[in-house]
Amino acid sequence: MTQEQPDAGTAFTPHDHCLCQSHALQVAEERLAARKARLTPVRRRTLEILLESHRAMGAYEVLERLAEDGFGSQPPVAYRALEFLVQHGLAHRLQRLNAFAACLHPESEHAPAFLICRACDKLAEVPAGCLRNEMNKLSREAGFVVEGVTVEAVGLCASCAEAGSA
């Protein structure tokens, strides 16, 4: 039985970040066990690194952290671990940032939208079902089949907006 799921948008509000981390790690272990896949030490550490904060990280930033922890310094080390996490719904790839972020709702298959603060780089994962439904409707009307969509909105979180970040 998994812990209570963190709320969407928690990156921008005070919350128990340990809950986000422990929830995602617990669900990751359960999901992979059900799929007979392994959360190897390098994959687990990669997920832990992504879960340390609500922001996206580039593969080379993850690689530096893995190297510090003794997992090697060759790019395939990070890329393979990140690709595995994305493939199993435990992380997301953000196209605009060319980066990766831990999935905070790995208990279900979903395709979220991302809110990215341009000042502090925090990232929130929010439900995007209605956006995707509308995109599918519009594409069908245009005679087009959507195979993938990543919704990434850039702006300012409340804290940065209050602080007057330009």
Q: What is the Cα–Cα distance from 157 to 12, expressed in whole angstroms?
A: 6
Q: Rounded to two decimals, what is the model's pTM? A: 0.81
pLDDT in tens, 66-124: 999 999 899 999 999 999 999 999 999 998 889 999 987 787 777 789 999 999 888 88
* Residues whose CB falls within 8 Å of the CB of residue 113, separated by 6 or more in sequence, listed in order: 125, 126, 127, 128, 131, 151, 152, 153
